[in-house]
Amino acid sequence: MDLLTLVVPSYNEEFTLPLFMEEIQRVIKTLDGVAVEIIFVDDGSRDKTLAIIREFHQKYNFVRYISFSRNFGKESAILAGLHASRGTWTAVMDADLQDPPKLLPEMLNFINSGEYDCVGTCRVTRKGEPPIRSFFARCFYKFINCISDTKLVDGARDYKLLSRKAVDALLAMPEVNRFSKGLYEWIGFRTKWISYENVERVAGETKWSFWKLFRYSLQGIVSFSTAPLLISAFLGVFFMFISLVGIATLAVRQLVYNNSVAGWTSLSCIILLIGGVQLFCIGVMGQYMSKMYMEIKRRPHYIVSEQSK
């Protein structure tokens, strides 16, 4: 019998996990001819998440778990789950039921047809999300799709069903700075997209602050595009050109009209502007360097403090 592995990253999810378990069991019962294992990855939770997961493991033989020594982030939790997965197919889904388990039978049908290696899910609305977050998310997708060869789908979730081939391809990418949405696209394979209306979290609250999301989006850009480096080089050439024109104008003014000293305020504005642009460009380079620094260290993606068999 084919095995379906569900990888569930969980960070401080004590309120959502019991609801998740109830719902997922309801869905599992409807799956014919497929065995299911669930791998909960406790990402260093500080509430009762680990205790609840241990309880699930004792009660249900299809539940396995991995617990991290501290919070390593959702990306590391997904990676740990994929490493541990034994399934013919593997689905990654959130613990808060925002990735509706009821879509699983349909997703399995598509992957079972043999035509697809990935089945992705995509929200058609962002209902219930703060408007400012939706706005920046849209800007992010527009920007990254402009500058990167890896095209991301706006509204795509991390909720995916993957064949063994796709999982192995993801595991073959050893990078420390992981951005799943980009990695899923980068590996290629034929992907079927399923759309659904946004569902709000059943309980608890989001773990992503605006600042955390901002840093994550920078990671996405830096991991999948080197265009910002090129843009900063172009900016440098642009300002060099303007300064050459300025020098030529001043030389002519001095030689022909003999009145080159005028307008120091505009000069200081220009110096400030160019200084700002230079700092910005150094910052862009710094982003890439800091990512390289983290990659070169080759630290493990996560540290496991406890895990089931």
Q: Which residues bind ligand UDP (CB under 6 A)?
A: 9-11, 13, 43, 71, 73-74, 77, 94-96, 98, 201, 206-208
Paired with 89 in beta bridges are 4, 163
- Which lies closer to ligand UDP via its Cβ, residue 116 or residue 181? 181
- Which lies closer to ligand UDP via its Cβ, residue 116 or residue 141? 141
Contact 162/120 with Cβ under 8 angstroms?
A: no
73 binds, among ligand UDP, Mg ion, none (CB under 5 to 8 A by kind): ligand UDP
**Any contact of residue 43 with Mg ion (CB under 5 A)?**
no
Contact segment (CB under 5 A) with Mg ion among 25-33, 98-106, 186-194, 263-271 equals: 98-106
Total residues contacting Mg ion (rule CB under 5 A)? 3
**Any contact of residue 158 with Mg ion (CB under 5 A)?**
no
The span from the CA of 178 to the CA of 299, in Å, is 13
Determine the distance from the C-alpha atom of residue 239 to the mean position of all C-alpha atoms in its chain, rounded to a whole number.
35
Interacting residues with Mg ion between 179 and 208 (CB under 5 A): none
Q: State the nearest-atom distance from the C-beta of 41 to ligand UDP, in Å.
A: 7
Paired with 41 in beta bridges are 9, 66
- Which lies closer to ligand UDP via its Cβ, residue 157 or residue 192? 157
214 binds, among Mg ion, ligand UDP, none (CB under 5 to 8 A by kind): none
Residue 290 CB: number of other CB atoms within 10 A? 12
Place of tokens 């991991």: 223
Q: State the nearest-atom distance from the C-beta of 26 to ligand UDP, in Å.
A: 19
11 binds, among ligand UDP, Mg ion, none (CB under 5 to 8 A by kind): ligand UDP
Classify the C-alpha dihedral 268-269-270-271 as positive or negative. Answer: positive
Of the candidates 13, 14, 96, 99, which one interacts with Mg ion according to CB under 5 A? 96
Strands (E), 43-144: 63-68, 89-92, 118-123
112 binds, among ligand UDP, Mg ion, none (CB under 5 to 8 A by kind): none
The angle at the Cα of 80, spanning 291 to 51, to the nearest 5 degrees, equals: 120
Of the candidates 16, 45, 90, 98, which one interacts with Mg ion according to CB under 5 A? 98
Paired with 123 in beta bridges are 196
Contact 11/94 with Cβ under 8 angstroms?
A: no
207 binds, among ligand UDP, Mg ion, none (CB under 5 to 8 A by kind): ligand UDP
Q: State the nearest-atom distance from the C-beta of 241 to ligand UDP, in Å.
A: 43
- Which lies closer to ligand UDP via its Cβ, residue 26 or residue 70? 70
The angle at the Cα of 89, spanning 84 to 90, to the nearest 5 degrees, equals: 50
- Which lies closer to Mg ion via its Cβ, residue 100 or residue 236? 100
- Which lies closer to Mg ion via its Cβ, residue 109 or residue 206? 206
If we measure between CA atoms, which residue out of 185, 190, 167 comes closest to residue 81? Answer: 167
The span from the CA of 8 to the CA of 11, in Å, is 10
Strands (E), the chain: 2-10, 34-42, 63-68, 89-92, 118-123, 156-163, 191-196, 304-307
**Any contact of residue 121 with Mg ion (CB under 5 A)?**
no
Q: Which residues bind to Mg ion, rule: CB under 5 A?
A: 94, 96, 98
